[in-house]
Amino acid sequence: MPVVKSGDANIYYEVRGQGEPLVMIIGIGGHLLQWGQLPDDFAKQYKVILLDNRGAGRSDRLQGPITMSQMADDVAAVMDATSTGKAHVFGISMGGMIAQEFAIRHSDRLLNLVLGCTTPSGEHHIPSDAAARRILFDAEYLKSLTPEQQTMETFTFLCTEEFIKENPDVYQYYHKVTVEYLTPGNTYKYQGKAVFEWTSWDGLPDIKAPTMIITGTADRIINPGNSKLIAGRIPGAELVLLQDKRHGFFIEARESTRIFINGFMKRHGVII
């Protein structure tokens, strides 16, 4: 099992494909299998590097509080383990926050930056709605749900009801891998604490790497207005709004996501 020691934690990672290195960072409570098929799409053109964030998937469980800086350093450790000097970085949700921190903290190792459905957090953060916050951060509510109920409720925040109805196999895959590596409640507690105690606001103008921000306009977990805030802070950043897509735009609009990111990469010096 490929793991690398990063600080006090073993971080699980996988590498797929060959070519320019592309690191993909999943969101809060998630693990790398929950990306679905998108990494395999990218692996036809890139060396895709995936990791399970601390506390999730096959990485070490959390024993106490963590910071966004630690998780950004975990990305750097995985890059070291895969002999990757510099990489393109694509993070979604909390993974997008880790990517922002990585861009600020490890700027010399960043090629292009893609931030999906994320936020600068802190005082400038535009809150999500109450129902979305409950499914992520209400430990007592989560305890009242079976794993099956929790998976389905979460998935309705990721994709539209129409998509779920027309693509039952996509939901079944998500459910299978979620239950297979079920995320402990304290992971949401400690990762959530890291999110709320962190902000990238002051550091965003210092990001020099070409940056694209992409989000769904119907996202209820992270208000799409946050993507607009980030785009306004990073010099030259491109903003892509996927109409009527939810937090899991990378699942529901998988092909559009691939096309937009590939186009962005081509415009900024990557030949594919």
Query: What CATH number corresponds to the domain at position 113?
Result: 3.40.50.1820
272 domain-assigned? no
Domains: count for the chain: 1
Q: Indicate if the alpha-carbon torsion angle 113, 90, 44, 259 is positive or negative.
A: negative
Over range 67-80, report the average pLDDT: 98
The percent of residues in the chain predicted with pLDDT above 90, rounded, is 86
Count of Cβ atoms closer than 10 Å to residue 161 Cβ: 8
What's the confidence (pLDDT) of residue 271? Answer: 44
Half-sphere exposure of 119 (CA within 13 A, CB side): 26
pTM reported for the whole predicted model: 0.96
What are 76-97's pLDDT values in tens digits? 999 999 999 999 999 999 999 9
Burial class (CB in 10 A: 0-12, 13-18, 19+), 192: middle
For residue range 197-247, list pLDDT tens digits in order.
999 999 999 999 999 999 999 999 999 999 999 999 999 999 999 999 999
Task: Please report, for residues 22, 110, 135, 153, 229, the alpha-carbon distance to residue 177 in angstroms, rounded to integers and kept in the order given.
Answer: 22, 30, 18, 15, 33
Cross-strand partners of 249: none
Report the distance separating Cα 163 and Cα 161, nearest Å: 5
Q: What is the DSSP letter of 159?
A: S
What is the greatest pairwise CA distance in the chain? 50
137 vs 15, higher pLDDT: 15
pLDDT tens for residues 154-209? 899 999 999 999 999 999 999 999 999 999 989 989 999 999 999 999 999 999 99
**DSSP code for 115:** E
- Supply the range of the domain harboring residue 118: 3-267
Please count the residues of the chain: 272
pLDDT digits (tens, 9 = 90+) for 31-56: 999 999 999 999 999 999 999 999 99
Which tokens sit at 231? 């785009």
